[in-house]
Homo-oligomer: A and B are copies of this chain.
Amino acid sequence: MRLPRQLEGAVEMFRRLPGVGEKTALRYALEMTTWSVDQTLFFTKELGNLIDLKRCDECGYFCDTALCSVCSQETRLESGIVCVVENVANCLAVEKSGVYKGVYHVLGGVINPFLGIGPEELTIEKLLERIEKHSLKEVILALNPSIEGDVTSAYLRDKLDKLPHSLIVRRIGLGVPMGGSLEHLDSLTILKALENRRSF
């Protein structure tokens, strides 16, 4: 049964969202067909507003004004700690833990030669500038543990070591996640968890 043009268009669009296959996209599109014209137009208008989203001049996080809600709090910059994350989603994840009181730096990705992403595509220069400008004391590398995350962390470590003032560089702890069970974790995670054992 051929789908009408409009429905096919909508399915194609929804498939662009992460993790959405043909079936889910059709489900979303069919749901939308049960909406009133006003509801549909409101939906598309709100999504279209995303093009007005601004990035914080300092850290790269989203914001309504020039500085984001984190960078505009003086106490957070005064902590002297910057947490380097790959993207905004990771920034949100760290912030949600509620324990981190420093500022963030969104790299905008990780080094990945296969996707043609080199260090110059990331906001590394900006990070070094910020560290110098605000005389930050500690850098927490909170990149996801993966080959690309490891390579990018090592690259950053090198760059940070070359800065004139001494700096504490740390990587976020690797190990068994809370609620995780050892028998279901991969050996690399177990290896990291053993390496990162702590006095107790």
Contacts and interface: CB of A to CB of B under 8 A. Distances in A.
A12 interface: yes
Contacts of A4: 53-54, 62-64
A122 interface: no
A41 B30 contact: no
Contacts of A88: 30, 33
A27 interface: yes
Interface string A90-102: 0110011000000
B18 A70 contact: no
Interface stretch (A42-50, A138-146, A149-157): A42-50
A101 to B, nearest CB: 12
Interface of A is mostly: helix
A27 B64 contact: no
A162 to B, nearest CB: 31
Contacts of A188: none
B9 A69 contact: no
A47 B10 contact: yes
A131 to B, nearest CB: 22
A31 B53 contact: no
Nearest to A95: B1
Contacts of A50: 6-7, 10, 29, 32-33, 40
Nearest to A27: B18
26 contacts: A1-B69, A4-B62, A6-B52, A6-B53, A6-B62, A7-B50, A7-B53, A7-B62, A9-B49, A16-B31, A17-B27, A17-B28, A19-B27, A27-B89, A30-B89, A33-B50, A33-B53, A40-B47, A40-B48, A40-B50, A41-B48, A41-B51, A43-B47, A44-B45, A44-B47, A47-B47
